[in-house]
Amino acid sequence: MHLYKPACADIPSPKLGLPKSSESALKCRRHIAVTKPPPQAACWPVRPSGAAERKYLEKFLRVHGISLQETTRAETGMAYRNLGKSGLRVSCLGLGTWVTFGGQISDEVAERLMTIAYESGVNLFDTAEVYAAGKAEVILGSIIKKKGWRRSSLVITTKLYWGGKAETERGLSRKHIIEGLKGSLQRLQLEYVDVVFANRPDSNTPMEEIVRAMTHVINQGMAMYWGTSRWSAMEIMEAYSVARQFNMIPPVCEQAEYHLFQREKVEVQLPELYHKIGVGAMTWSPLACGIISGKYGNGVPESSRASLKCYQWLKERIVSEEGRKQQNKLKDLSPIAERLGCTLPQLAVGPEQMGTEEMLPDSHPSFTSVFIQQTCNKYLPCTAWCLRNEGVSSVLLGSSTPEQLIENLGAIQDHLFLAANSGLTTFPGEEVDWIWNCQPKANVANM
C-alpha cells in the first residue's frame, strides 16, 4: 500500500491567496450574508386571545359536527384552569379524601359525594397512600370502577411519603417512590395516576435521586406529571434546577395550605415560582379544617372532624386562645358575607377575578339577561379568597356531607357566573384585611 505524499509545490501558500474565481465566490457569499435581511419578529406565531381561540375552536368543531354546548363545561358551569404552566386542565374545585374517605364518612356517602362532584363538572380527585392507611385509595378506586366513568375524563392524584411501618416503606427514596406508587395503583385499580406528589420533603434522600425516580415513573407510564406538597420554595427551586441540569422532568405543582389564616406561602412565595418556572398551586383546607365555616363558634359538635379521636390536635387548636380570637374575627366577617349574598364558606372559597371567557359559555342557564336583571340586586358577586390568585390552579374541598359539597360548589357557580356577567366584580379586600389583620408582610410592604 502506497500513501501519496504531496510535494511542497502541491501545497498552496497562504500568502498567495485563493484563485480569482474562488475570491469572487467568497466575496459574493459575504455580500449575501451582509445584505440578507434579519428574520422578522412578526413571523413567530402569537398565541391567540381567549375570544379568538374560542372562535377557532368553534370553527374546528363545526366541521366535525360538534358543538361547544355539548361539553361538560357548558353543561355544568364548572370553570377550569391549567395545572401550573402545564397543559393539564383541572377543575377549579377538586374533591379531597383526607379524613373523610375511610374514616369520617361511610362508603355510601363517599360515593354520593363523588357523584355530586363529577356531575357538577369536578374532574380532580385527590388522595394519598397515608390516608386511612390506604383505605381512602381503595374506596376512591372502587367508586370510579363502579360508576364506569371514562378514565380520560378524570384527573386522579395521589401522594407518597408514608406507606407503612418499615423503614423502607416511607420517605422519597427511589425504592419507595416506585414501590409506593405501584401499591397506590393496585389500591386505586388504575393503570396510572395523573399527578403523583411528594407528600413532604425528605432530607435523607438526595434531590437528584427524588427527581430521577419521579422522572422514571413518568417515563414508565405510571404517572403523567409530578408535584410537591409542603415543600419550601427553595426546595422546589432545587428540584427544578436538578431536573434542568440532568434533562429530567421538573415538578409542575405544589400542594399548599391556603385560607384566611394561612396566606404567606401562596401569596408571597409561590407567585414567583409560578411566573419563573411554571409551578402552580393546588391548595387545600380552604375552610381551615372547618373553622371558617363557623360551626365551632359554640364548641365542638359531636359529628365534626375535631371530635374524632385522632384529631385532638384540631380540638386543642380550636379551644386555644388563638382559636377564640379567630372565632371572634369570623363574627366580624359575617356582615360582609351577608352583604355579598353568600355564606362564610363561599366567601372563603369563591374565585375573585375570572373572566367570562375563562369560566363558562353563554349557554349556561344562568346567563340570560332577564335572570341577571332580576337577581343582580339580590346576589352580589360571591367573590373571595382562594381562587383569586392566578397561580392557584385548583382548591381541594374536604366535604363530609352532600349539603356541604353543594354549598361549596355554589361558590363558583350561580353566584360567580351572575357576578361576572353583570359586571359586579368588586370585592372588599381591604375591608376583610383590616378586620382579619392577616395580610402577609410582603404584601403590606408593597402597598
What Å distances lie between residue 322 and 48, 214, 258, 327, CA to CA? 49, 40, 18, 9
Catalytic residue among 131, 161, 225, 258: 131
d(CA 392, CA 256): 10
According to DSSP, the β-strands at 124-126 and 93-96 are parallel
d(CA 307, CA 309): 6
Backbone angles phi, psi at 102, to 5 degrees: 80, 5
d(CA 192, CA 221): 7
Q: To 5 degrees, how large is the angle CA 76–CA 355–CA 426?
A: 110
The DSSP call for residue 71 is: S
H or E segment to which residue 310 belongs: none
d(CA 290, CA 306): 9
Query: In this structure, are residues 136 and 128 in contact, taking their beta carbons and an 8 Å threshold?
Result: yes
Spatial CA neighbour of 409 closest among 127, 98, 124, 99: 124
Radius of gyration of the chain from its Cα atoms, rounded to whole angstroms: 28
d(CA 357, CA 341): 24
Residue with cell string 366580624: 332
H or E segment to which residue 93 belongs: strand 93-96
Nine-digit cell string for 354: 375570572
DSSP characters for 336-362? HHHHHTS-HHHHHHS-SS--HHHH--T
Q: Is 131 a catalytic residue?
A: yes
According to DSSP, the β-strands at 155-160 and 280-284 are unpaired
Rounded to the nearest angstrom, the gap between the alpha carbon of residue 239 and the centroid of all alpha carbons in its chain is: 18
Q: Which residues are catalytic?
A: 131
